[in-house]
Amino acid sequence: MSPKIHELEAVARHYCELVESLQEGKTQWLEEVASLLPRLHAAVSALNLPKPDISHHTVADLDARFELYTHLRQLLGDRDSYWMEYDVAGDGQTMSGSLADDLTDIYCELKSGLKLLDAQPQKAVEDWHKGFHLHWGQHLLDAERHLYDLSTRNQLVC
């Protein structure tokens, strides 16, 4: 495997291990996520593969995904929700962005690729690349933007 793929694998593993180790009382995990996401973005972009034009579907265990989302949402509390471009301003009930959802979708895509990596490295890289362009890349950008906003308000430490 190329050094670029090794870097993507290392960042993906670090991200997944971090998410899997989250528990109540750990206070600096969000700062670590905030510093890890730009590295993930750079690693997947460095693959420099052509933009895919086909659909992409990651098989996900919906129960496990919901469990992770719920856990992250609980850990994030008030830091979870954020305004999206077309949200209606008002009482806060209409915020449609969710950091827990972003982090969960990124995790599911990366974990799926890590499971494939040893047996089918080319497929794992292709899935990561396709998924990034067709799905989890938007979650990554939204999460990076929201984490930056939290950082400017000194709200990364939970």
The pTM of this model reads 0.88
Q: Is-contact 147 156, C-beta < 8 A? A: yes
Distance CA 117, CA 115 (A): 6
- Quick one: pLDDT band at residue 80, thresholds 50, 70, 90? very high
- Quick one: pLDDT band at residue 57, thresholds 50, 70, 90? low
Which distant-in-sequence residues (6+ apart) come within 8 Å of 35 by Cβ? none
Handedness of CA 48, 51, 62, 28 (dihedral sign): positive
Angle of helix 3-20 relative to helix 99-117, nearest 10 degrees, comes to 130
Q: Which two tokens stand for residue 148?
A: 């930056």
Instruction: Please give the pLDDT value at position 157.
Output: 80
In the predicted model, what is the mean pLDDT of residues 79-84? 84
User: Chain-wide mean pLDDT for the chain?
Assistant: 87
The CATH code that applies to domain 3-49+58-86+94-152 is: 1.20.120.1550
Which distant-in-sequence residues (6+ apart) come within 8 Å of 33 by Cβ? 15, 18, 103, 143, 147
Q: Which two tokens stand for residue 10?
A: 């290392």
Residue type, 141: L
> 97 pairs with which residues across the strands?
82
Indicate whether 152 pLDDT > 60.
Answer: yes
Selected residue with higher pLDDT from 25 and 143: 143
